Amino acid sequence: MASTSSSLPSASAAPAVARLAAGAPEAETNGIANANADAEAYERANVHSVYEAIAPHFSATRYKPWPAVAQFLNTLPRGSVGLDVGCGNGKYLGVNPGVFMVGSDRSAALVALARDRLKEEGGVLPTGTGVKNAVRDETSDVTNTTATSGSRSSKEGITDVLVADGLSLPFRDGAADFAICIAVIHHMSTRARRQDAIRQLLKCVTAGEAGKAAGKVMVMVWALEQGSSRRGWDEGGEQDLLVPWVLKTPQQKQPRQPKQSRKQKKGAAAQHGQEGSDAVVVAHHANKSGEPPVPGPVPGPAQDQDQQEPAAPATDAGGGVSHTDPVFQRYYHLYRKGELEEDVLAAGGLVLESGYEKDNWWTVATNNGPTLSEEQ
Partner 1 sequence: MKVLTLNFLTCAVKTCKSSADSFPLHPKDAELAHDDIEINPELLANVLPRIDWTALRTTSTELGFPELPAQPPTVEELEADEALLKELHSLLLETQMMEGKLVCGCCGHEYAVREGIANFLLPSHLV
Select the span of 54-62, 85-93, 94-102, 258-266 touching partner 1 (CB under 8 A).
Answer: 94-102
C-alpha to C-alpha distance for 193 and 188, rounded to whole angstroms: 6
Cis peptide, bond prior to residue 310, ω within 30 of zero: yes
Strand partners, 222: 360
What minimum distance in Å lies between the beta carbon of 117 and partner 1? 13
Q: Assess contact for 121 and 154: CB atoms under 8 A.
A: yes
157 or 319: whose CB is closer to partner 1?
A: 157
Decide if residue 127 touches partner 1 (CB under 8 A). Answer: no
**Which amino acid appears at position 103 of this protein?**
G
User: Residue 124 interacts with partner 1 (CB under 8 A)?
Assistant: no
Contact region for partner 1 (CB under 8 A) — 108-116, 236-244, 268-276, 292-300? 108-116
Q: Does 175 bind partner 1 (CB under 8 A)?
A: yes
Tell me which amino acid residue 215 is. G
Contact 164, 179 (CB under 8 A): no
Interacting span for partner 1 (CB under 8 A) from 73-81, 240-248, 267-275, 336-344: 73-81
Q: How far is the CB of 110 from partner 1 (least distance, A)?
A: 11
Residues contacting residue 367 through CB under 8 Å, at least 6 positions apart: 174, 202, 203, 205, 206, 207, 208, 214, 215, 217, 348, 349, 350
Using CB under 8 A as the binding rule, whether residue 18 contacts partner 1 is answered as: no
Alpha-carbon gap, residue 351 to 202, rounded angstroms: 11
Q: Which of 115, 117, 253, 265 binds partner 1 (CB under 8 A)?
A: 115
Alpha helices (H) along 265-319: 313-318
Can residue 67 be called a binding residue for partner 1 (CB under 8 A)? no
Residues of this chain, 282-341, that bind partner 1 according to CB under 8 A: none
Burial class (CB in 10 A: 0-12, 13-18, 19+), 316: middle
Adjacency order of strands within the sheet including 327-333: 11-12, 240-246, 327-333
Q: Which amino acid is located at 199 in the chain? A: R
* CB nearer partner 1, residue 122 or residue 318: 122
Based on CB atoms, which residue is closest to partner 1, 125 or 350?
Answer: 125
Binds partner 1 (CB under 8 A): choice among 15, 170, 250, 296: 170
CB of 80 to partner 1, least distance (A): 8
Please list every residue from 205 through 244 that binds partner 1, using CB under 8 A: none
Nearest to 70 by CA among 176, 182, 147: 182
d(CA 11, CA 42): 15
Judging by DSSP bridges, how do beta strands 349-357 and 240-246 pair with one another? Answer: unpaired
Which one among 165, 309, 342, 357 touches partner 1, defined by CB under 8 A? Answer: 165
Using the rule CB under 8 A, is 342 a contact of partner 1?
no
56 binds partner 1 (CB under 8 A): no
Segment 130 to 149, residues that bind partner 1, using CB under 8 A: 148-149
CB closer to partner 1, 211 vs 255 = 211
Binding site for partner 1 (CB under 8 A): 37, 40, 77-81, 98, 100, 102, 104, 106, 108, 111-112, 115, 148-154, 156-158, 160-165, 167-173, 175-177
